[in-house]
Amino acid sequence: MKKLFSSFVYAFLCILTVLVGSFLLSIVLDGQTLSIVLKTAIYTVCGISLGLSLWLKQDKSFFLLLLTILAYTLIEYFSNHRFDNNYYTLIAYPLMCLLFPINVYLMTRVKQDDLFLHAFIRKVVVIFGQIFLLYIITYLLPSLFGESIFKNFQYNLSNLLNHAFIGSRMLSMPQMGLFSFIVCFGLCLWTFRKKSTFLDTAFIGVFTTSFISFYFIYERNISTIFFLAAVTCVLFSLLQISHRMAFLDELTNIPGRRALTNALRQYERHPYTLSIMDIDFFKRLNDSYGHEVGDQGLRMISARLSQYAKSGHIYRYGGEEFVLLFPYKHLEEVLDEIEETRALISNSDFFLRSRTRCDNETENEKYPYLASIKITLSAGVAEKVGSESSDFVLNMADQALYKAKKTGRNKTVYYKNDKFYELY
């Protein structure tokens, strides 16, 4: 729920940024110029986001953007025909209100395919197939065979799509479209509650802003402003994903080596203490239970480190090595915490489970119990107190770790005043 709340906050901030920017532009620009600037902005942001989706191989964001920009293009057409009391407007617009949220929700349910060609083509066919079907119903068949033949069909379809199920029609949006938005958004939130991703912000933003855009279809510039906010939410989610790919370790979900390098550069003029922790006999664990169980061990260790090391920042250094960084702390201030963290983990039982899911849906029994094991850690500690480089501090901590390994493992060795000391 915390991640879902964060997604709402990020979506709100993206929308608020676009609204404030549009308001400031409206002060200095006339209506026609503002309209041109907003339309240019939406296609520019959408183009950048589409390119970023392709580069990051994010097919969900790509097709979410495609759905959004196609909807905006059609909305622009309807706004130019708002005084035409014809079946094109009475059928196409209600169908869009009905189908757009359904398509967005289905996009949350499909598997991330990394833009594989067959999956890409299948989704393109589905999206453009709906637009082609709408074109056939509203224009092609009547123009080929005469409007009189399809007049009754269009009339009945229009009445169905615009029918007021509850009371009289008081809203500009058809009630069927309103129900579609409410139901699909609710299902979307339920999906995010069970499994959260960085694209949650994009989907929440698109649902919220597109609803407003569809509702105020005939209000000048409102549709454009909120569709601009929609693609901005998607762009923000893509930037989050790119940051995650660059700085977070995919397996353990903690900052990786590049993030550590940036942090050390940030504290290069300040004192800090650094500890490298290594899992003892990790190769034996992989050989005994397989690499999937080894990955479970790495995830469990990273979770325990985050739980026990209260004042330190945790990074995955590589392989089975983790780094604890304590900014502005001298070695004597954190040595007890480092040893306590290492000892707590080494004395804990780790319950490994098979990755084959069983039929029992109880959370603790979703994956069958495999084994209970002990995983011990060795630690090497060094500190920066003067003009030492980060490479020097890392090297000394690594040498201290090597000595801990050579002298029996499951212990902490620290470097101070050009000497190595074993902590008892």
Just list the catalytic residues. 320
Three-state SS letters, the chain:
CHHHHHHHHHHHHHHHHHHHHHHHHHHHCCHHHHHHHHHHHHHHHHHHHHHHHHHHCCHHHHHHHHHHHHHHHHHHHHHCCCCCCCHHHHHHHHHHHHHHHHHHHHHHHCCCCCCCHHHHHHHHHHHHHHHHHHHHHHHHHHHHHCHHHHHHHHHHHHHHHCCCCCCCCCCCCCHHHHHHHHHHHHHHHHHHHHCCCCCHHHHHHHHHHHHHHHHCCCCCCHHHHHHHHHHHHHHHHHHHHHHHHHHECCCCCCECHHHHHHHHHHCCCCCEEEEEEEECCHHHHHHHHCHHHHHHHHHHHHHHHHHHCCCCEEEEEECCEEEEEEECCCHHHHHHHHHHHHHHHHCCEEEEECCCCCCCCCHHHCCCEEEEEECCEEEEEEEECCCCCHHHHHHHHHHHHHHHHHCCCCCEEEEECCEEEEEC
Rounded distance, CA 275 to CA 341, Å?
11
